[in-house]
Structure 1
Amino acid sequence: MKDLLELRNEIDQIDNEIVSLFEQRMHISEQVAQYKIRTGKKVFDKERESEKLKTLSSKASNEFIRHGIWELFEQIMSVSRKKQYQLLGAEGMLEKPDFTKVDRLVEKKPTVVFQGVEGAYSQQAMQQFFSEQHDSFHVETWRDAMEAIRRKQADFAVLPLENSSAGIVSENYDLLAEYDAYIVGEQVLKIDHALLGLANADETEIRTVYSHPQALMQCSKYLEEHKEWEEISLKNTAVSAQKVKQDAKVHQAAIASPVTAELYGLKVIKEGIQDNQTNCTRFVIVTADPVYQKDARHIALCLELPHTVGSLYHTLSHFIYNNINMINIQSRPKPDKNWEYRFFIDIEGNLEDEGVQNALGGLKEETSFLKILGTY
């Protein structure tokens, strides 16, 4: 029986041969890319690759090896395609995203729309992003906000996308996929929730608490201490404070920002009731035009994939081979197909980066749907 050292030496020899053969194959792939550059043929030929994989895997001596050959050559072909995309990009053959680069996002006093009423967290995020140089109005729903920019009633809309405690605002991810609107900015807002009531209210008298569903989730530990309270969800935290003021019932309270207490003449019964004291919400600034500031360093994508084994893995590898850092990925059900999903991915980079263009070129060919949601 051969000893371990001898076996390892044999494996090393085989591995060296594999490396040499792989380099030869990649050299031929480059020649294929040059042919495709001259003829305008697409890089990804799914039918040919499927037939090739079937042929190669059929040569295996058993089922385990068959599966391994399929996986190995599927990866080799994927690497080959990425090299071809890079060569196409170097020749200027990849279609560039139809976005306009601008020096400044805001050239004149903009009109900004937010969901809720005065005092809403969306309004606070808007004020931090635009400072005082803007006009604004509020609407009842986030869809109304998207409609406002679509109809050019507002230049920008402010949407919450994700909370550090309660997770994503799924409705707004869906709206970004649905509307021709583009993310151009981001504002992270520290969220401090307080229990607000009438001037003569006391914590022991509260029986009903109003707030947005996410705010109720973010204060779940505090609310768990008061199981006798009825929790009622409303569309906005500030709307909840407004209702408590209008109803004028001492047993009602709202979970909202302390800022709204001043706006609606309510008392802060208890501050800092959120579970996570570093609680933050990420808001995005959205507009109807595909523009981006020249120094933008993040790109948001929405994509749909073939419902096949390994499709997400091969999609993400486009970022790996172009040295792109992925900073966020979320999934949402496709509205027209059960148990199939679209993915929302944030990456680092600028639309002018060569690696970004190569990755986007590959994604466009190999996904069933790709939309650049914006860059900021």
Structure 2
Amino acid sequence: MKEDLIKIRNEIDEIDSKIVELYEARMKMSERVAKYKIENQKAVLDKEREKIKLQKVGDLTTSEYTRNCIIDLYKQIMSMSRERQYQLLTENGKIEKPNFTAVEELDFSNSKIVFQGVSGAYTELAMKEYFGENCDNFHVNTWKEAMEALKNNEADYAVFPYENSSAGIVAENFDLLVEYDNFIVGEQIIKIEHSLLGQKGAKIENIKKIFSHPQAFMQCQKFVDKHKSINKISMKNTAMAAKKIKEDNDITQAAIASKSSAKIYDLDIIQESIQDNKENYTKFIIVTNKKIYNKSAKKISVCFEAPHESGSLYHMLSHIIYNNLNMDMIQSRPIKEKNWKYRFFVNFEGNLEDAAVINALVALKQDAVSFRILGNY
């Protein structure tokens, strides 16, 4: 029985050698196709041709199982073929670079920055960390208003919380990136340490209501669960919650906010460091209304809607894989106007000057129902 298995494996090895040989021969044909398309200014993707090809190879099979497998295999082979054609087109200057302007460095001189919240907000802390303590700034009540400020040229840059290491993404801001024609140009990560703040002399046994942002409640879930009898009330911002405690002057109310908010609003720290994860960080993005990027940028953010068919997301992500690009985030968000359909947000390493990045972006755009580059930073 052991000898039979060895024989079978040897036969498989022989078949695999032939498959590799045939695959390389097919890719050489793809290069010839690319040359023809360069000379005749033809598009790389021909969806009708691929549809017919998949039908033909499927018809060559002898069972429904192998038919499905072969069709999936050929989708990958044709995707690899297109990637090679895009590479050759890029090398010959036939692929246009994304319509973004590279700058040596971002210019913050005479810039006005907008953030959501009030003094003491974590977003303000991130802004000062990125732009400097004395940057020219103003605040608004909502993240949407911050996007509007950019749109109306009332601000040059805005700062938004993007993702927390404990509670995940800030979904509303992902949706706003799609809604507005603004672009990510930078990011700032800061450590988030939540404290329970109250009136002077307040104790935990006095508290009947706690105000904070929903993300802060999520990040302090163990503390929240421990004090289930206390009413939790959501606010748009942790610093707004602290400000409310100061203004209401009610010893039965408290806020989950930063230590700096306690100092700003002259509140007592009833209990500090109440977040579940002591290594709790939030990533903030820097957004502008200009299609610019720093020449030293190392990360690309895109969003797209994949075709509503089996394996479409898998095949689209292959464009990143085949170009040897490292993806470090993928998130999905429901598309409001399309029930049960989703938009995907993807971050991967690279610069808009890189040939591999250009190839991946072109291929993604070709395959997507809708596609946008959100920034290079």
The residue that corresponds to 1:293 in the other structure is 294
The residue that corresponds to 1:35 in the other structure is 36
Q: 2:20 corresponds to which letter in structure 1?
A: V
8 Å contact kept, 1:197–1:252: yes
Deviation of residue 332 (structure 1)? Answer: 0.4
Deviation of residue 315 (structure 1)? Answer: 1.0
Deviation of residue 109 (structure 1)? Answer: 2.8
Q: 1:1-376 counterparts in 2 under 5 A?
A: 3-376=4-377
8 Å contact kept, 2:196–2:256: yes
Distance 1:360 1:142 in 2: 28
Distance 1:101 1:67 in 2: 45
Distance 2:164 2:19 in 1: 48
Distance 1:140 1:293 in 2: 30
Distance 1:16 1:9 in 2: 11
Q: 2:84 corresponds to which letter in structure 1?
A: K
Deviation of residue 132 (structure 1)? Answer: 2.8
3-state secondary structure, aligned to 2:227: coil
Distance 1:107 1:69 in 2: 54
3-state secondary structure, aligned to 1:3: helix
Distance 1:30 1:304 in 2: 29
Distance 2:54 2:371 in 1: 26
Cα distance change on mapping 1:268 and 1:310 into 2, 3 Å: same
3-state secondary structure, aligned to 2:277: coil
Q: What do the CA deviations read for 1:144-190 (whole angstroms, capped 9, x no partner)?
A: 00000111101100000111111110000000011110101100010
8 Å contact kept, 1:109–1:133: no
Note the aligned Cα RMSD (angstroms): 1.2
Distance 2:171 2:57 in 1: 43
8 Å contact kept, 1:114–1:138: yes
Q: 1:64 corresponds to which letter in structure 2?
A: Y
Q: 1:208 corresponds to which letter in structure 2?
A: K
Q: 2:67 corresponds to which letter in structure 1?
A: R
3-state secondary structure, aligned to 2:114: strand
Deviation of residue 133 (structure 1)? Answer: 4.5
Deviation of residue 200 (structure 1)? Answer: 2.2
8 Å contact kept, 1:184–1:291: yes
Deviation of residue 308 (structure 1)? Answer: 1.0
Q: 1:46 corresponds to which letter in structure 2?
A: K
8 Å contact kept, 1:210–1:232: yes
Q: 2:60 corresponds to which letter in structure 1?
A: K
3-state secondary structure, aligned to 1:261: helix
3-state secondary structure, aligned to 1:158: strand
Q: 1:239 corresponds to which letter in structure 2?
A: M
Distance 1:27 1:195 in 2: 66
Deviation of residue 363 (structure 1)? Answer: 1.2
Q: 1:21 corresponds to which letter in structure 2?
A: L
3-state secondary structure, aligned to 2:210: strand
TM-score, with structure 1 as normaliser: 0.98
Deviation of residue 336 (structure 1)? Answer: 1.3
8 Å contact kept, 1:149–1:157: yes
TM-score, with structure 2 as normaliser: 0.97
Q: What do the CA deviations read for 1:41-65 (whole angstroms, capped 9, x no partner)?
A: 1111111111111121112111112
Structure 1 segments, 4+ long, off by >3 Å, are none
- How many residue pairs are counted as aligned between the two chains? 376
Distance 1:355 1:226 in 2: 52
Distance 2:138 2:323 in 1: 42
Percentage of identical aligned residues: 54
3-state secondary structure, aligned to 1:309: coil
Q: 2:22 corresponds to which letter in structure 1?
A: L
Q: What do the CA deviations read for 1:205-239 (whole angstroms, capped 9, x no partner)?
A: 11100001111111110121111100000111011
Distance 2:237 2:365 in 1: 38
Q: 2:329 corresponds to which letter in structure 1?
A: N
8 Å contact kept, 1:110–1:133: no
Q: What do the CA deviations read for 1:249-270 (whole angstroms, capped 9, x no partner)?
A: 1100000001011111111111
Distance 1:32 1:133 in 2: 58
Q: 1:74 corresponds to which letter in structure 2?
A: K
Distance 1:5 1:195 in 2: 68
Distance 2:356 2:56 in 1: 33
Q: 1:333 corresponds to which letter in structure 2?
A: P
